[in-house]
Amino acid sequence: MNCFSLEISLAAVLPALALAGYVFFRDRVEKEPWWLLALLFALGAVVYVPGYFACRGIAGGLDALFASQITYDLQGNPTYAAPWAEFLHPALVVLGTVLVQEILKWLAMFLPTFRSRQFNCLFDGVVYGVFTALGFGTAENLLYAWQGGWDALLLRSLTTLPGHLYCGVVMGCCYTLWLLYRTAKQAEKHYENLGLVQVRKPIHSGVWFITMLLLPVALHGSYALVGTFRSGVLDAVYYVCNGALFVLCMLAVRRLSAQDAYRGRYADALLDQKYPQIRDLCTDVEGELPGKPPKEADHE
């Protein structure tokens, strides 16, 4: 079915733009430049294309692998010869699809912003994650709208787009925490080299880097897997949980926005908490820290 039209295209794009605008206006400390946000949104949409073909390739390879266990009726619904295949096949398809999509979204978010001096506030990571995820979701919405019409667009707008939103919020939060702890870790190493502190248990940032990928994959994969099973009860649970997660996501955005502040202050606070003596040891007469790492370490 070819449903390409201006009306359905606008309907596919506007929900994502509305959500992106909401998050943008919640960025209260220092607005991100429009060109960076447009770039992230566009990159999110662009990486959907290789992701789409990669996911089709994964699904096709798994269909071939399970060919002896699957038969299809005239409507294309699968029937499995063994109970284990009925669970394992869709689970592997979902896992492969979700991994590809979340890694591509992460790359589209991470590469333009990791060294950016614009990334100087706690809420910035959420903004970057959301704009990238919504760009990806917009491209996906457009494809399904053009192929399936208004019914497909409505279903995707109520389920998949909110899913991309809260995965983007989670990824962005973990991204900020990773850079926060990474900045504190670099400062700690710098002070250790100056002989100002003795590090017995260094600050670790790697756990947040891993969480930045694994948590969105787990979140995305759980709701995507439920949607693959033909069960009225599971479908009802899926829609209720999806709506609840969307509401929680909106509340989390409001709370994170209210707690926004410049990131470097929190990195300093982590060091002050671990080494209460550090400020007394290395504060000069102007109240600055002469041993503070170079600016590129904290992106300020």
Q: Is residue 203 within 8 Å of residue 184, measured between CB atoms?
A: yes
Residue 65 is assigned to a structural domain of this protein: yes
- CA 58 – CA 74 distance, rounded (Å): 23
Could you count the other beta carbons within 10 Å of the beta carbon of residue 55?
18
> Is residue 175 one of the residues assigned to a domain?
yes
Question: Is there a contact between 204 and 182 (Cβ–Cβ < 8 Å)?
Answer: no
Domain hosting 124: range is 6-298
CB 263 within 8 A of CB 179: yes
Q: Nearest Cα to 12, choosing from 153, 214, 129?
A: 153
Distance CA 236, CA 234 (A): 5
Other Cβ atoms less than 10 A from the Cβ of 192: the count is: 13
pLDDT at 287: 45
Closest CA relative to residue 40, chosen from 118, 136, 170, 156:
136
Distance, CA of 248 to CA of 259 (rounded, Å): 16
Q: Residue count of the chain, please give it.
A: 300
Residue 78's region, left for phi above 0, alpha for psi from -120 to 50, else beta, is: beta
At 53, which helix (H) or strand (E)?
A: helix 48-65
Residues 6+ away with beta carbon under 8 Å from 40? 108, 109, 112, 113, 128, 131, 132, 135
Report the domain count for the chain: 1
Reduce the DSSP state of residue 85 to 3 states and report it. helix
Whether 248 is in a domain gets the answer yes
8 A C-beta contact, residue 122 and residue 256: yes
Those residues with Cβ within 8 angstroms of residue 200's Cβ, 6 or more apart along the chain or in another chain: none
The CA-CA-CA angle for residues 54, 212, 207, to 5°, reads 130
pLDDT band at residue 22 under the 50/70/90 scheme: very high
DSSP state of 213: H
pLDDT tens digit string along 59-75? 889 888 888 888 877 66
CB 178 within 8 A of CB 208: yes
Task: Give tens-digit pLDDT for 241-294.
Answer: 888 888 888 999 999 999 888 877 777 777 777 777 666 655 543 344 444 444
Residue 1 in domain: no
More confident residue, 158 or 94: 94
Query: Can you give the pLDDT at residue 133?
Result: 96
- How far apart CA 15 and CA 162 sit, in angstroms, is 10
Q: Summarize pLDDT for 174-184 with one digit per residue, the tens.
A: 999 998 888 88
